[in-house]
Copies of this chain bind each other. A is one copy, B any other.
Amino acid sequence: MAQPDTARLLIACDDQPGIVAAVAGALAEHGANIISLDQHSTDAAGGRFFQRTVIHLDGLAAKRPALEASISAVAERFDMEWSLHDASRRKRVAIFVSKYDHCLLELLWRTQRGELDIDVTMVVSNHPDLADSVRAFGVPFVHIPAADKAAMEQRQLDLLRGNVDLVVLARYMQILSDSFIESLGAPVINIHHSFLPAFIGANPYARAKERGVKLIGATAHYATADLDEGPIIEQDVTRVTHAESAAELQRRGADVERFVLARAVKWHAEDRVIVHGRSTVIL
């Protein structure tokens, strides 16, 4: 899946006339071909503008400095945030897990199969249970027991800092401290086992059963200091009936969790997700 000489340009700025033409012009100037272009404006008048452009440019590595200089000039003119991502460089991902294996295995299997264009550099767990399952995929498994929280997080940070581009919490049953998220220097994607904002917090399946809902769901979101309040990347639901117990809801929900998390990680890996306040734009 790695695509040589291909890059993804993400931009965000206040909406104003001429953005698309200016960016397309800067790219054309260097001979870059636009493979796809998606944009979104939050408002017909006076909103925020977002654009993802995938380009192909023979000899990208050598031409990149000059290309970036041109983009930078356009960005200055429009007061634009921007980033240029090399599509041939896979993101390095650490997966955090506790004892449930369904989300973890889904990610490992899709990566092995070539559906997720990421490098899983390590799996970190507060329990030893899943070591064999992980190592069967040729992925390092690091067991850091949940003793003293500060000490545990320090050991995790020592492992991760500089080594990963993304952390995925694949049903990791520990709450990350604010300072951990701040110190990490990489985004964190979490899977929550409910259709947020319904059933924020613990035991969502039991509470869904108690409330008698007719659909259960899962939500993948960026983890922030506010628990379960981070920007939502993807959600899905499945229909249930009164005949299913809380334990059955949990099994049914596990299937939704697997797919929702896999889609969220895929979109992040392909630089499709732009955070906008408390929500996301998927381009």
Contacts and interface: CB of A to CB of B under 8 A. Distances in A.
A202 interface: no
A210 to B, nearest CB: 7
A185 interface: no
A199 B197 CA distance: 8
Interface stretch (A119-127, A158-166, A168-176, A237-245): A237-245
A20 B105 CA distance: 41
A28 interface: yes
Interface string A133-171: 000100000000000000000000000000000000000
Interface of A: 16-22, 24-25, 27-28, 31-41, 43-44, 101-102, 105, 109, 113, 115, 136, 195-199, 210-215, 217, 231-232, 234-237, 241-243, 245, 251, 255, 259, 276, 278-282
28 contacts: A16-B33, A17-B34, A18-B28, A19-B34, A20-B37, A21-B28, A24-B25, A25-B25, A35-B41, A35-B44, A36-B40, A37-B37, A38-B38, A40-B243, A115-B251, A136-B136, A195-B195, A195-B215, A196-B213, A198-B198, A211-B232, A211-B278, A212-B232, A214-B234, A215-B235, A215-B236, A237-B237, A242-B280
